[in-house]
Amino acid sequence: MATIGNRFPECHRQEFTERNLTPGRILYLWCEFTTPPKDKYLVLACRGAPPLLFLINSRIHPFIASRPDLLNCQVELRASEYDFLSHDSFVDCSKVVYSFDEQAIKNQLLSDLRKIKGEINQTTKNEIVKAVRNSRTISLYRKQLIIDSLQESHTRESFQVASLSVKAFSSSVFPAPFVNL
């Protein structure tokens, strides 16, 4: 079934996909590594070769629940905060998924732009960073990549908001020919 997004020209879909492939983005991807293979929600933690992602699960597995160090790496996503979720779920920050290459992710997203679900909020981002810092199952190298990526995306968002505020203020105070931000 053709969606509205898929009716846009290929170049616009590629631009949209590239612009939305950012740390903290929630994606709905076909996962061959699950048993059985199926579509799963994932959080993009870091772009790179390979991209680093975390699985989102609808429940915490008993194995994880019985191990405090793994349980501390589960970050709750409340359905009330994420409209695409039908129930509360958990980001599993104890295990990094790195089995996708970036082009495979882009191909899935280009085939159906609805697979780009949203962005984690700042509170969730902070909780993920905390869980990653405390994780005993993620290498120091990957920890640093993930933390830097998630914090950089927050800094970039803050800068964009501040920049928009300055532009809005400037355009309301100065005539248009004088505003050059």
Of 71, 73, 35, 80, residue with least CA distance to 54:
73
Q: How far is CA 166 from CA 157, 171, 178, in A?
A: 14, 8, 13
Using a cut of 0.75, tell me whether the model's pTM lies above it: yes
Crossing angle of helices 140-173 and 122-134, rounded to 10°: 160
- The CATH code for residues 5-176 is 2.30.30.110
Is the pLDDT assigned to residue 175 strictly greater than 90?
Answer: no
For 18-62, what is each residue's pLDDT tens digit?
999 999 999 999 999 999 999 999 999 999 999 999 999 999 999
Domain positions in the chain are 5-176
